[in-house]
Every structure is written in structure tokens, then in C-alpha cells.
Structure 1
């Protein structure tokens, strides 16, 4: 479950309480917020802005998206390419990418890599 950001109003009240002399932990306890989140607990003089930052989203996906055409060309050229093969292709070009990153990249584009069957089923096998 993803938690929601604390409202700006509550952030302002927490900062005002800290500026009024309460410790970060005391203010957190008083307003029912986490005392471990320093950006919330610090005063605007030290942080700058108390507006909550955007939550979620891939922060690292931009790195792999920069090489989208190379990956898509490789998948088009060899439809049964494995994620490990894609990773090796990128590695040869000096691009570091994980298997999970490649999988999410393809999932965002609704591309599924199906392996071709290596050996055909036996025609003489009893069922």
C-alpha cells in the first residue's frame, strides 16, 4: 500500500511548531506524522520548499528509454530473443541494464517475448 503525502497545511503547522520551539520528534508526535522524515520536519529555511514531491514512477526508466530504438530493433530482428541476449547486446555497446529493467521496458510496450520451441513434439509418442 502506498502512503499519501502529508498535506501542505499540515506541513506548515509542523514547521510552525518546530520554529516555535518543539523538537522534530515532539512535533511529529503532536501532529501524528513520522518523525523520521527530515524534509517534513526541517524548517523551510533549511529545506527551501515544503510542498510534497511527486511519488512513484520509474526514476531509472529514463536511462533505458534512451536506448529504446536499439532494443526495439533487436526484438524486431530476432523475435525470440531472450532478455539475457538483449542485456548482452546493450552491454557490448557500453549500456548497463538489468533483466528486470528490460522486462518492464517491454511490458510498457505490451511486447511479450515468446520462446520458440526448440524441439518439435514427437509424432510417434503415445498419448
Structure 2
């Protein structure tokens, strides 16, 4: 996984830019990309410092979590609903999610549904 460049390096690049160098010249001087120097300068202007943000983690589950009540209501309405059926029902209501994101939604809540086999009972021996 990638690692954020140090705050010390970021401050030195910003100081060089403030000292009169262009973002590209400061980037070349310190051996970082021009895009990084430009982004760090924009962070200084926008929020006052160039600290790196958090790396990794889940960034997209907030979308599906907004619709948790709807998903759980649909699941309660039909107890043996499949992920594909649930995905289609959500799409009808304007919520576009993937089957994998639905699976992770239920996994976070430790909700599992074990389907029963749709075979008739054996007369000669039990089926497992």
C-alpha cells in the first residue's frame, strides 16, 4: 500500500513555492511530482495546512448505509429474497447498488440466510 510523504517534505516544498519558485520547479528541486506540489499548495490555500489525509479504509459504504432502512424493510417483507432480487427492487426505487455491496452490507451486520434445499423428502433415507 502506498504511504503519504512526510509533512516535513510537504512544508519544505510549500516554503520553496512561497519563496518564489513555481510549483513545478519546487517539485523538481525536492524530487516529488508536480501534481503533488500543486495539490499541497492548494491544500494550504484551502484548509491552511498540507497534512495528509487518512489512507485506506472504506470510503463507499456510506451510500448504501443511507438506504439501510429500505434494504432491511425489503428483506423483512420477503424473508427469502436473493441479492439479485433485492438489487432489482432497490433499482426500481432509484437506488443503484451492486450485489457485492449488498453482500458487504449484510456481512457488516452479520446477517446470513441459509437457503433450504428445494428437494422433496426422501422416502428411503434422510437428505442433509
Asked if these proteins are the same fold (TM beyond 0.5), I'd say yes
Inter-partner Cα distance in structure 1 for 2:98 and 2:17: 43
Correspondence 1:15 to 2:24: no
Inter-partner Cα distance in structure 1 for 2:75 and 2:43: 51
Partner of 2:82: 82
Contact (CA 8 Å) 2:27, 2:34: kept in 1 or not?
A: yes
Consecutive unaligned residues in structure 1, runs of 5 or more: none
Q: CA deviation at 1:87?
A: 0.6
TM-score relative to the length of structure 1: 0.69
Larger proportion of helix: 2
After superposition, where does 1:13-92 map in structure 2 within 5 Å? 13-37=12-36, 38-40=38-40, 44-45=44-45, 48-92=48-92
Q: CA deviation at 1:79?
A: 4.0
Q: 1:56-108 CA distances to partner (integer Å, 9 max, x unpaired)? A: 34333222111112212333444432111111111222222111221121121
1:43 to 1:91, Cα distance in 2 relative to 1, 3 A: closer
RMSD (Å), alpha carbons: 3.2
Contact (CA 8 Å) 1:15, 1:43: kept in 2 or not?
A: no
Consecutive unaligned residues in structure 2, runs of 5 or more: none
